[in-house]
Structure 1
Amino acid sequence: MYWIQSIENGPRRVNHAAGALDNLIYSFGGYSNAEDYTQVTPIDVHILNTCILKWYSLPKPDKTDPQYKETPFSRYGHTVVVYQQKFYLWGGRNDHPGTCNRLFCFDPRSCKWSIVPVTGSNIPSSRDGHSACVIDDRMYIFGGFEDSSQQFSDDLYYFDFNQSIWHLYNRKLDDQIPQWRDFHSATNLDGRMYIFGGRSDHIEPHITDNLYDNQLYVFNPESQTWLQVATVGQVPPGRRSHSAFAYDGKLYIFAGYNDVVGLHFNDLHEFNPLTSMWRRIKTSGIPNPIPRRRQCCLVVDHRMYMFGGTSPVTASLFLNNPEDIQDIPGNRLILYDQSDLYVLDFAPSLKTLCFLFLAQQRIDVHHLPKRFHREYQLFTQSSINRARPAGETSG
C-alpha cells in the first residue's frame, strides 16, 4: 500500500461526515474552530472530484428559499450513509440548538435536501458520536452520547428504508454487546456490522473516567446476535474519533485519539475476518499523514481518500496562526484543524509507481507522451515531501 498524494488547501473540517458516489466524495458539515457555531445556519456541503483532486462547495440556501427549512442545520458528530444513490444524514449537534434526531436525505442529482418522513415510536433520541452503516435495506445506528440523559448509549436501532420506520433491537441474554460508548466506528463487512473503539467509562453510563476498549464486536443481522470477536495478532490500541473502512473483504482502522495515554495516532491496521487476525500495515510512498483524530476516510475503487481532522501542536504555531487554534484546557492540548487530503493506493499500477518516483526525484518529464502530462501534474502538484507547519508534532 502506498500513500501517493497529498494536497493542501481543501475544506478545513473536523468531526464531519462523508460518503462517496461514483468518482465524487461528498463531505457534510463538521466544524473549524475559526467559525461561529452558536448560530443556526444550513449545513455546508463540499464535493471532491477524485479524478482531478479538486474541491468545490455548494451554495447554502437563504431564508427565502424553500430549501432552507428542508436543509439540516450545521453540525458535527453526525453520520452519513449512502443508500440507493442518495445520502442520509442523522444525528449530530451544534452549540445551538444542540443535538438532533431528524433523518435528512440529500439527492446529489438535484442537490436538494428533504426531511425523511418516519413512523413508529422507536425513534432514537437525539445524540452525537454514534455510528451508522447500511446493510441491505437498513441503516443501523449504535451508541453515541444522548443529549437528554447526558449518558453514553449501547442501544442498537435500525431504520427500514422500505417501510420508513425505526426499530429498536431487542437484546438477548447471551448477546455480547459492546459497552456504552461514543466516537467508535461501525463498518459493514460481508453483511455484518463490526464495532471498534470509542470512549466509554468504567462504572456507569455517564462520563467519568474514560475507558478505551480495543476489542472488536460484530452484529449479525441474519441471526440477530452480538458477539465479541476473539482476535489475534497486532491488535490496535484503543482509541476514539478514528476512521474505519472496508476494502477487499478486510477491515481497516486509521488514526484516532486516546486521552488516557495522551496520544494521537497515524497508524493503519488491517483485520482479516477469515483468520480473525490484526496486523499493522507498513505503508510505502510519501510520508504518512501526521497523527490526528476526527478525519474522514472514504474508499473509491482501489484508493482511500483521507481528509481533514485535527492534530496536536505546540504553542509556537498558536503565536503564528491564532485563528486556527483550539485550546482544550481539560486535556492541555492545543489542536490544529487540518485542510489536507491524502490518497492511499491499495494496488498501485506500474504507471502510478513510475509517476510517484518521477515526482519524488523531481525528474524532467517533458519527453513523456502528452497524454500522460495532465495525470502527472497531479503528482507534481501534490506535496510529495509535506513540510509540517511550525509547531506540528508527531503525536
Structure 2
Amino acid sequence: MIFFYIDCSMSFSSSIDSIPYTSLSNLSGIPSIDVAGSSVVGPYNDIILTFGGSYGGSYGYQLIYTFDTKNSTWNSLTTYGILPPIRKGVRPVFSYGRLYAFGGFNNFNGAYYNSLDMLDFRFFNWTNITLSNAPSGRDGYVSALLSDGNILYLGGYVSGKTVGLDIVYLYDTNNNLWQNMSTAGTTPESRGYFTSVLNLKKNRLIIYGGESNRVYYHAAVPTLAVLDLSSNPFTWISQKVSGNFIPPHLLLHTANVVHNYMILAYAAVVSTAILIYGLSAFYKWYKVTGFSNKFVATP
C-alpha cells in the first residue's frame, strides 16, 4: 500500500515550484482495502476514518479503520448498535459528532443500498435512519456538507448505470428529511466515481473526472464542471480555465481543498501524477510530477 502526506504549510501561489511529501507506507496496520469511503472526523479534525470497501475480493472484515494523524497510528474501531452492511463506493460525511453513510454497492450479491446509517461518536453507536423517500441505492456518487446542515448527494451509479446530474438530493440533518432539487443551466454528462470539492467563498461545488459508462470506460464530459449553490435552484455554470497543462481524465481519484487549490491525487486511469487545480479567480492548472523528495510543479 502507498500512503503519504503532503506538507501544505507552505503558501500556494502561481509561483509554486515544489511540494514536499512524506511517505508513511512503512507504518504497521495500514488496511488493504479497495474503494473504501473516507472522512476527516474527531473534535479537532485530526482523525482520518475509512468506511467499508472490499478486501481481497471479499467483504468479511472490519467495517471502520481510523488513522490518528498526531500519533501516526492505524486502529480498527469497534462500533455498536445496528451495524451497517459493509459495501463500497460510499462517501461518508461527518457533521457535529456524527458520521452519515449513505448508499453503496456490493458486487458479490449485486445489491445497491439506499440505507442511511448514522454513527454517533459519543457512544460509537450506529442507528439506521433510512426514510421511505430516500433516493434509490447508488455508489460512486459525491457528497458534501453544506453550511445549512444539508448533505448534498449527486450522481453515481444506480443499477449499473450512471444517473444524471440534473437532480440534486439533499438530506436535512437537523430535521431528518430528504428532498430533491432539479438543477438549472447546462447539465454535464452523467458520471460515477468522480470527485467534488466545495469552494466556500463562492458557494460553489466543483466536480472533476469520472466515467459515464461502467462496462466500457468512457470519460464523462466536461471533465470539470461547476455548480453554483448560491442560486435557487442550484445552477450549472460554465467556467473557463487556463494553464499550458491539460489534465488527463481521472477515475477513482481523490480531491481535497488546501487554501485556494484543489489537489487531485492518484486514480484508476492515471496513477503516476498528482495534479493541482487552482480555485482562485484565475482557475489555473498545475501539474505535479516525479516521486522523489519533492514533486516539481509545471504550469
Superposed CA offset, 1:53-112 (max 9, x none) = 111102366xxxxx2xx2111111111111122211111111236110111111223111
- TM-fit CA distance, 1:16: 0.5
Native 8 Å contact 1:243 1:255 kept in 2: yes
- TM-fit CA distance, 1:256: 0.9
Q: State the identity as a percent.
A: 20
Name the amino acid aligned to 1:36.
S
Gaps in structure 1 of 5+ consecutive residues: 62-66, 289-395
Q: Which of 177, 199, 203 is the aligned partner of 1:189?
A: 199
Superposed CA offset, 1:280-338 (max 9, x none) = 135786377xxxxxxxxxxxxxxxxxxxxxxxxxxxxxxxxxxxxxxxxxxxxxxxxxx
1:284–1:7 CA distance, 2 compared to 1 (3 A): closer
1:113–1:283 CA distance, 2 compared to 1 (3 A): farther
> Which of 1 and 2 has greater Rg?
1
1:278–1:214 CA distance, 2 compared to 1 (3 A): farther
Name 1:278's counterpart in structure 2. 285
Name 2:31's counterpart in structure 1. 11
1:209–1:30 CA distance, 2 compared to 1 (3 A): closer
- TM-fit CA distance, 1:36: 2.7
1:228–1:255 CA distance, 2 compared to 1 (3 A): farther
SS at match of 1:230: coil
Native 8 Å contact 1:42 1:72 kept in 2: no
Native 8 Å contact 1:151 1:207 kept in 2: no
Greater RCO, CA 8 A, separation 6+: 1
TM-score, with structure 2 as normaliser: 0.80
Native 8 Å contact 1:3 1:283 kept in 2: no
Q: Which of 242, 250, 262 is the aligned partner of 1:251?
A: 262
Aligned counterparts, 1:322-337, within 5 A: none
1:243–1:103 CA distance, 2 compared to 1 (3 A): same
- TM-fit CA distance, 1:162: 2.1
Native 8 Å contact 2:54 2:87 kept in 1: yes
Native 8 Å contact 2:188 2:222 kept in 1: no
Task: Kindly indicate whether residue 256 of structure 2 is the aligned counterpart of residue 219 of structure 1.
Answer: no
Superposed CA offset, 1:228-280 (max 9, x none) = 3211112321111010011113211111133xxxx434323222331111111
Task: Kindly indicate whether residue 87 of structure 2 is the aligned counterpart of residue 49 of structure 1.
Answer: no
Q: Which of 237, 242, 252 is the aligned partner of 2:253?
A: 242
1:165–1:60 CA distance, 2 compared to 1 (3 A): closer
Name 1:90's counterpart in structure 2. 102
Name 2:125's counterpart in structure 1. 112
Q: Within 2, Cα distance between the matches of 1:283 and 1:165?
A: 47
Q: Within 2, Cα distance between the matches of 1:152 and 1:75?
A: 18
- TM-fit CA distance, 1:160: 1.7
Native 8 Å contact 1:100 1:127 kept in 2: yes
1:176–1:47 CA distance, 2 compared to 1 (3 A): same
Q: Within 1, Cα distance between the matches of 2:223 and 2:271?
A: 19
Native 8 Å contact 1:215 1:228 kept in 2: no
Q: Within 1, Cα distance between the matches of 2:77 and 2:96?
A: 21
Where in structure 1 do 4 or more consecutive aligned residues deviate above 4 Å? 206-209, 282-285
Q: Within 1, Cα distance between the matches of 2:254 and 2:40?
A: 15
1:60–1:113 CA distance, 2 compared to 1 (3 A): closer
- TM-fit CA distance, 1:169: 1.5
Task: Kindly indicate whether residue 143 of structure 2 is the aligned counterpart of residue 132 of structure 1.
Answer: yes
- TM-fit CA distance, 1:225: 0.9
Task: Kindly indicate whether residue 152 of structure 2 is the aligned counterpart of residue 145 of structure 1.
Answer: no
1:51–1:285 CA distance, 2 compared to 1 (3 A): farther
Q: Which of 100, 117, 120 is the aligned partner of 2:113?
A: 100
Between stretches 11-20 and 92-101, larger displacement belongs to 92-101
Between stretches 77-86 and 278-287, larger displacement belongs to 278-287
Native 8 Å contact 1:76 1:92 kept in 2: yes
TM-score, with structure 1 as normaliser: 0.61
Q: Within 1, Cα distance between the matches of 2:125 and 2:217?
A: 43
SS at match of 2:182: coil
Q: Within 2, Cα distance between the matches of 1:52 and 1:140?
A: 32
SS at match of 2:54: coil
SS at match of 2:40: strand
Between stretches 180-189 and 91-100, larger displacement belongs to 91-100
Task: Kindly indicate whether residue 89 of structure 2 is the aligned counterpart of residue 77 of structure 1.
Answer: yes
Name 2:48's counterpart in structure 1. 25
Superposed CA offset, 1:158-196 (max 9, x none) = 112222222222133xx1222111000111121321111
Name the amino acid aligned to 2:71.
I
